Each structure stands twice: as C-alpha cells, then as structure tokens.
Structure 1
Amino acid sequence: MPTKDPIARTSLHLEVTSRLRSLIVESHIKPGERVPELEISRDLGVSRTPIREALKVLASEGLVELLPLRGAVVKSFSPKDAADMLEVMGLLESYAAQKACKAAQSRIDHVLTMHNKMKTLFSQRKRPAYFDLNQKIHDALVDMADNESLSMVHSTMSKRMRSLRYSGNSTPENWRAALEDHERIAHALKKRDAQEMKQAVQSHFENTIKRVLNP
C-alpha cells in the first residue's frame, strides 16, 4: 500500500485526510472493505487520533461509513446509486457549463490551460495527477456559473463521487474516451458556444455512467 513515506507534522490533519482519501479513491482500499487504521497509522508514522479525525471528515464526504464495532468501512454504491448520482451531476454541470460560456476570458483561458496540462498528464500516463486536475476543471466550470447554491450542492456530491469517477478511467480505452469527451468540452468553451457546451457535458456524463457501470 503506497503509504510508506512519513509525513511532516505541519498541517497533519489535512495531510492525513488527503492520504486516506487517495487510498479510497484509487481503490487501494476497496468498497466494502474496512479501513485498516493500525496499518495506516504505522505506515504514516502518526497516532490513530489523526486517522480517526480524518475518517470523520471522509464520512461527512460520503466516502466511508463509521460502523459500531467495525470502525470505518469504505462506502459501496449499487449500480443504481452510481447512475443516479452521475445523472444528477450531469444536470448540474451541463447547466453550469452554459453559464461558463459567459465568463470573463481570463477564467476561460485558465480552464483551457488546465485542459492542455491534463492532456500532457494523459500522455505521461500519470493517472492520479490527471484525475486531480480533471476534478479541478469540473469544479472551475461550476465556479464560473457564479451560483453559490449550485457550487455548494456540486461540492457535496463531487466529494461523495470521487471514487466512482476515478473508476471510470480504469482501462486505457475508457481513459482515452474520457479525454476525448473533455476535448469536446474545451472546444465548445473556447468558442463560447453554450448549446454545444451543454451537449458536450451531457454526453460526457452519459458516457461516464457507461464507463463506471461497465469498467
């Protein structure tokens, strides 16, 4: 398990939470499995206290369940749960994407720059870094809608679904197809074509549902 490097005491809580989140999102600890607190505590060189505090955060994000006498168990979703959440996310993001086409040019350029960097990460096969940047692109598009309520709902669901979305790129074919979806989104954003943007984002989520349910 990739947790061997001890971490600095500065921002300990945030770092431990980040490490645990990555272990779950990248399926090092799989859905339905118990989080091995003692093993992770030893590997990170920290006590169990920050581990347990981190697990409370991840429980609030919907990534783990805290069960009596069992500790923390990674949340598992039925195919229907996964499809339902992705469908709702698609509705939220396709709405936001249309609004994003009216944003300041500097904000659009920032997203397009991130997209180009994401393509480089794809060519280097750096999947975790690619995924992190991918999520920042999705978040930036929603932020460009300038709708606080939308951003709040999206943030809550996005955290809950990180492992689902990561699993959609589990094969080289699915990963390449996901990047092609993002190419269409970037093309529409560059043109400020709201209708094309809406269709590209909707198509991306429809494809994501297929990739997640049929990895």
Structure 2
Amino acid sequence: MVGVTETSDGGYDRIARPYRWLEWIAFGQSLQHSRICLLSELPLVDRILVMGDGDGRLLQQICRSQPGAEITSVDQSLAMIDLQKSRVASAGATDRVRWVCADGRQFSPASNEYDLLVTAFYLDCFTEFELGQHLPRWLSGVKNGGFFYVAEFVQPTSGWRAIRARVMLAAMHLFFRRQTSLTNHRLVDLTAIFDLLPIDEVNRAERSGNMIRTQIFSVR
C-alpha cells in the first residue's frame, strides 16, 4: 500500500540504525522478547494498527503471526520506517502494510476500523496528560471485541530491583530527551490510566525482574 508522509523526527532518524545495538547494550534481548512473547496468544484478525514500532522488529513478527491482516504502521521517523519496510519485505508482506509518517499525537484512526491496536515501548514517550488525551483516541479506532496489545516498562515497588529500574529508566529518559523530541521526564503509571479505559486484561507476561510487562486487553 502507499505510505503517507507528513513529518520526520530528526532525533529518531539519527538513532534509527544504531538503535537495535543500543537497546541490546542496555537490556540484552529482554525488550525484543517482551515485544513478541504474547503474539501467539492473539487470534487471527483482519486489520491492525501499530503505533511507534521504531525499527520494525515487532512489525516483522506481526506480519508472520497474522498472515491475512492488513496493517497500518504509524511512526514519526522516516529512517525508522525505512528499516520497517526492509524487515516487512523479508517477511513477504509489503503489500499488506501501509506506512504513515506522523507524530502519534496528530494521528486519529477512523472509528472502529481496526481489530487490534499494538504499542510496544511507545506509551512511555508521553506524559500522563498526553496519554489521557491521545490513548482513548487511538483506542477508538478498535472495534468492540477487538484487542489492545501493549509492552511497556514498569517500576517495581520495592527491593534492589526497584532501585535498578529507577536508575535504568531515568538514564533511558535522559538519553531520549537529549536525542529526540521526547517530552516525558519520568515513567508514567500506566495501570492507573488503563483502569479508566474500556479495556479488560486477558493475558500478561513479565520479564527482567518485573520491570517489563506485556499485556493483552480486550476492548469493549
């Protein structure tokens, strides 16, 4: 499908190619495992919206696990989209993916257009106020009975794991604020935000000392 180009974030463009290795240095394989660990638990669907997938490693696996789905991928970096296109091509799915280069804060899906919304390590780019504005709008694009698939960082509440997570997440946010247009300065409590949305958890997996959580929600 033909992609739509609006704007490209220069910061994310600069880190697109080394991003995979920067991620590996900081987290090893934990983030990639968390991105894909529950894909097999999703039913086969027709239309999928993926927000902010970055270099396309998750999108590639979605193309393989959902062989009949048409997919819209929204990302604000043209360089990241180029990497996505290469990985999607290797999965033989180029004709099933439409790319939109846009800041997610300016993207509005058509109501009830999709069966599945996917966000992985994307929601932590936004402040609590921004998520309160934009996440309900993205979810409005999912049909009743559809699904929301999310992988994100979580702050453990006690022990040495809490200290380690606090240090790592603070360093991560500092790096992205300096390299990109990231506005968020801290990890947002997603549980409190999710509790206000018309979604119900149906599956979850946790990794890296409970610092990373993958969840599947049904949308009502």
* TM-score by shorter chain over 0.5: no
TM-score (norm 1): 0.24
TM-score (norm 2): 0.24
**Structure with the bigger percentage of helix:** 1
Between structure 1 and structure 2, the one with the greater Rg is 1
